[in-house]
Amino acid sequence: MKWFNADLHIHSVLSPCGDLGMSPQTIVDKLIEHKIDIFSITDHNSMKNFDTYYEKAVENNLICIMGIEVQTQEEIHLLAFFDSHEDGYAFSRELYDSLLPIQNDPEFFGDQVIIGVNDEILGFEEKALINSSIWSMDEAYAKVEEFNGFCYPAHEDASSFSIIAQLGFIPQHPNFQAIGISAKCNKEKLFTKYPNLKNYTLIRSSDAHYPQDIASGFSKFFINEPTVDEIKKACSGIDGRMIIS
């Protein structure tokens, strides 16, 4: 097994709140500068830029895991990851169809740019991506499982779009194996406030929307190979795998 540095929560130019400077080359350059081995582009409710960032990652010997940030009916953000691109795309198509039919307002929310490897604009997503699915958290979790993915709450220390912020507590079901925390999260303070979070494996990531924030938060994975399956096993500490965040 070996150690990998991972930043699993980064937004591309497709997220309306993402800076237009979050181009494939810029993201890859920043990841290399900060010695990150594994990353994931987790745009809100869409994977339409995955292929481009994946191709750029391969060119630069980085591992790009397929991911997405799901916004559930309760306005909870879950990060979902897939080893099989076919499964991930199938999941994202169903999620897209479950989004409320609201058009994006670029002037208010920002452009949702579908980009190519050489920064060429391939198109614009017109459905508002900062929007909720009609799926509840339970339903979203079940869908991720159905498509052989792995998911956990994105940023449990955040004052909005986290389970605690929306529900006031973390329910027993679904049985998350990990909890995401943001770059600035102070774990001791978090545990003092919510002692039951000590029962979870924490995964820290940057949630970068701007180039300067890439790798501002990351985790170290001790795993066999850089796959979602291995990360999932590391969350449960199987056979010596571990996560430091």
Binding residues for Zn ion, rule: CB under 5 A, are 69, 77, 154, 161, 207
7 or 230, CB closer to Zn ion? 7
Q: For the CB of residue 163, give the shortest distance to Zn ion in the complex, in Å.
A: 12
* Minimum CB distance to Zn ion smaller for 44 or for 241: 44
Contact 162, 122 (CB under 8 A): no
Q: How far is the CB of 182 from Zn ion (least distance, A)?
A: 9
Please state at what angle helix 50-59 crosses helix 24-33, rounded to 10 degrees: 50
Nearer to Zn ion, 152 or 161 (CB): 161
Provide, for the chain, the percentages of residues in helix, strand and coil under a 3-state DSSP scheme, each rounded to the nearest 5: 30, 25, 45
CB of 158 to Zn ion, least distance (A): 7
CB of 15 to Zn ion, least distance (A): 7
Of 62 and 78, nearer to Zn ion (C-beta) is 78
How many secondary structure helices (H) and strands (E) does the chain include? 8, 11
Q: Closer to Zn ion by CB, 45 or 98: give it.
A: 45
Q: Which two tokens stand for residue 245?
A: 């965040």
Q: How far is the CB of 81 from Zn ion (least distance, A)?
A: 14
- Comparing CA positions, the residue from 14, 15, 18, 41 lying closest to residue 28 is 41
DSSP label at 42?
-
187: helix, strand or coil:
helix
